[in-house]
Structures are given as C-alpha cells and as structure tokens.
Amino acid sequence: MASRNENSIRVTVLGSGTCVPSLARSSCSILMHVGDRQLVFDSGPGTMRRLLEAGTDIYRVDYLFYSHFHPDHTAELVPFLFANKYPDPLRRQRPLTIVGGPGLKGFIAGLESVYGHWIQLEAGMVDLVELDEYRPRGLAGEGFTATAVPVAHNPESVAFRIETPSGCSVVYSGDTDYSDQLVGLSRQAGLLICESAVPDEQKVAGHLTPALAGEIAAAAKVQRLMLTHFYPACDDTDMAAQCRRAYQGPLILAEDLMTVMVE
C-alpha cells in the first residue's frame, strides 16, 4: 500500500464551483495526496467542511497552493489559519507551507493587518513561498516537485504541475484564458485539471470554455482531462460535447468529492 501511494497522486475535488453559492458545488479547491503529504490547491468558501467530508482535516494539510487571490479561491484562508490556533488535541503538528504567485506576502500581510494575531500561527509553523521565478521547485524530501508558470487571468495568476519521482504528474490550471504557457506546463501530464468556467457561447475574457480547455489538452497531449470551476450556466450545458469539439481523450467533469487516482 505504501509503495502504491508513492507512485500515485490521489486527487479529490473539494470544490468544483465558483463564487456563486451552490449546494452541489463548493467554491474552488482541489486536494492531492502525494505520498504521505496532503496538498490543497485554492481554498474557496466551504473548503474546510469539504476536507472533513473527504476524510481529512485542516491540521493534516501540509501545503496550500494559491493560483491567484480572487475570493472564490482564497476566502477560506482566514478561517483556516484561525482554526489552526484552536488548542490541543486537534492542534497542527507539522508546519504549513503556503505557495503563491507574485504578491503572496503582501496579500497575507494585508489579511494580518485586518485580523492580526488571530491568524498568526506560532513561529516556525508557517512558511510563505512567493514565486518570483517560474521554475521547477524541488521541495526536497517531500516526494514531489512543484512547477509553476504564469497564466492569463490576474497578474499573480499561476498554474501548477506536481510531479513525483516516478513520473506521475497532475497539472492544476487555476483560472486562465487560453495560455501557451499552460500548454507547455501540461505536456503529457497524467491529469490536467482545467478550469472551464462558462459554456463556449458565453466566453468571457480571462476564462476558458470547454472547447478551449479541450484545445489545450489536445495540444499538450495530456493523458486525461478534468474540467472544473463551473458557473451555473455550465450545469444547463452539455460541457462534454463542447469539449469534444477539440479533444477526444479521456474526459472527466468534476463533481465535489469525486476522487481520481493518477498512476
């Protein structure tokens, strides 16, 4: 069992939705189990409850990766940090690393200017990693490599690729418009988790549609594609059919608490 874990990434969708309240789709968040590490990508409202529903909790999360700072991707950070200050026995036992694009430290400082010590963990329990260079970032001894590239949404927006030493790989797009950088990052990935916020006929700047996400997946020759970040109009649309205009490979439409193994 242990060796299986070391050669796979288990992806759990915590939130496949958006800023729009939904009982079915919590705001944006993805959980990855990589070896014995737990990585969370974005933490929109509802993420802490979804972690419990997924069989884990905030204290076992080792890494928070932020694609950008929009509230539907970050809003649960404040209650997440505050809850980590709750006393024993639930208390966090190991440090939390928070990773994000340019401006991450200023973003956190802004939150601290509002909430002060309520969200400040004790010394040594939080490490902030602000990406100012987009290069592979080997997190030594952690059993994976994280690589980030800028994508087309906000100035700080990044997509992440997580890869194990055995070559198992998952890419998380965050929010983006069509992006050659995302194509490059996703090259032959085991799974591309790609935003597809609106149907093809409702395209807006800074977001993808099913056909555009399919174009990225096809160009990158990914092994599997998962579409996520669905605004309500997506649930009245045949998103798979629109994606099939550009991509013929294995396709998953994200649902909250869905789990996918990437070998």
Sign of CA dihedral 73, 76, 82, 83: negative
Query: For Zn ion, which is the closer residue by CB, 71 or 167?
Result: 71
Distance CA 24, CA 17 (A): 8
Token representation of residue 108: 């956190």
Q: Does 25 bind Zn ion (CB under 5 A)?
A: no
Query: For Zn ion, which is the closer residue by CB, 70 or 92?
Result: 70
Question: ω into residue 89 within 30 of 0, thus cis?
Answer: yes
Name the one range near Zn ion by CB under 5 A: 110-118, 126-134, 170-178, 243-251.
170-178
Q: Does 175 bind Zn ion (CB under 5 A)?
A: yes
Token representation of residue 45: 């409202």
Cα 135 versus chain centre, distance: 18
Distance CA 60, CA 80 (A): 12
Name the one range near Zn ion by CB under 5 A: 29-37, 45-53, 139-147, 171-179.
171-179
Distance CA 209, CA 189 (A): 20
Query: For Zn ion, which is the closer residue by CB, 174 or 214?
Result: 174
Token representation of residue 39: 């990585």
Name the one range near Zn ion by CB under 5 A: 129-137, 173-181, 230-238, 248-256.
173-181
Beta bridge mates, 119:
none
Among 70, 160, 173, 196, binds Zn ion (CB under 5 A): 70
Name the one range near Zn ion by CB under 5 A: 72-80, 143-151, 181-189, 234-242.
72-80
Token representation of residue 136: 């592979």
Distance CA 51, CA 64 (A): 13
Query: For Zn ion, which is the closer residue by CB, 71 or 106?
Result: 71
Distance of closest approach, residue 18 Cβ to Zn ion, in angstroms: 6
Q: Does 42 bind Zn ion (CB under 5 A)?
A: no
Token representation of residue 11: 């992806």
Distance CA 176, CA 152 (A): 5
Distance of closest approach, residue 173 Cβ to Zn ion, in angstroms: 10
Q: Does 163 bind Zn ion (CB under 5 A)?
A: no
Name the one range near Zn ion by CB under 5 A: 1-9, 131-139, 167-175, 208-216.
167-175
Query: For Zn ion, which is the closer residue by CB, 25 or 70?
Result: 70
Contact residues: Zn ion, CB under 5 A = 70, 72, 175
